[in-house]
């Protein structure tokens, strides 16, 4: 059943709000997925703070133009368009969609938007392979902590040696 003009406006508004708030966007075709598979994908997206909107190409194009994304043309995409908008981490949408596409061949990634510019499929897949922001921060903290913990171990070694010598002196006098 066709959507009413009001429903289309609501979809466009939802897309505009998501595109404005998103740090990164991935466009994909998930037509042909079973309902259970689509729900599994949506559940995974909710866990990772990703907004998903499935809409016709014309509505996606209008929303992109209204937001200022001129180089996005959904008419070159094959099939329907699902828009995955990462609200939290920049790589989360690319990672979730790419991981899901590996196990479900029907899901096809068309491209995405990163820093206000359209990126192709290869860029989305390389973005998916990057570690998350939390992982990078953890690596940074570990790198910063490494010299400090080494210094503490060196100082503790000197104290251990002194304690060992003192214990030997006590044993020899006893």
Looking at residue 78, which CATH number applies to its domain?
A: 3.30.70.1730
Number of domains present in the structure of the chain: 2
Domain that holds residue 77: 5-130
Q: Please check whether residues 25 and 14 belong to one and the same domain.
A: yes
In tens, the pLDDT along 85-113 reads 988 888 888 899 998 988 888 888 888 88
pLDDT of residue 84: 92
Residue 155 scores a pLDDT above 80: no
Burial level of 94, CB count in 10 A (0-12/13-18/19+)?
buried
Q: Please check whether residues 148 and 172 belong to one and the same domain.
A: yes
Mean pLDDT of 37-47: 90
Q: Please check whether residues 141 and 115 belong to one and the same domain.
A: no
Residue 1 scores a pLDDT above 60: no
Which is more confidently placed, 147 or 50? 50
pLDDT of residue 117: 85
């Amino acid at each position: 059943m066709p959507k009413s003009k009001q429903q289309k406006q609501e979809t466009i508004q939802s897309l505009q709000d998501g595109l404005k708030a998103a740090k990164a966007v991935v466009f994909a075709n998930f037509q042909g997925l079973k309902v259970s598979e689509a729900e599994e994908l949506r559940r995974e997206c909710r866990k990772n703070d990703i907004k998903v909107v499935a809409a016709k190409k014309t509505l996606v194009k209008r929303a992109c133009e209204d937001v200022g994304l001129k180089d996005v043309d959904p008419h070159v995409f094959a099939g329907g368009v699902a828009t995955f908008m990462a609200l939290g981490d920049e790589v989360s949408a690319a990672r979730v969609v790419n991981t899901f596409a590996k196990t479900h061949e029907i899901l096809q990634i068309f491209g995405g938007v990163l820093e206000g510019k359209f990126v192709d499929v290869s860029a989305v897949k390389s973005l998916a392979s990057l570690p998350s922001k939390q992982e990078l921060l953890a690596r940074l903290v570990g790198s910063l902590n490494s010299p400090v913990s080494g210094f503490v171990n060196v100082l503790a070694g000197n104290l251990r040696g002194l304690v060992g010598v003192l214990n030997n002196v006590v044993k020899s006098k006893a």
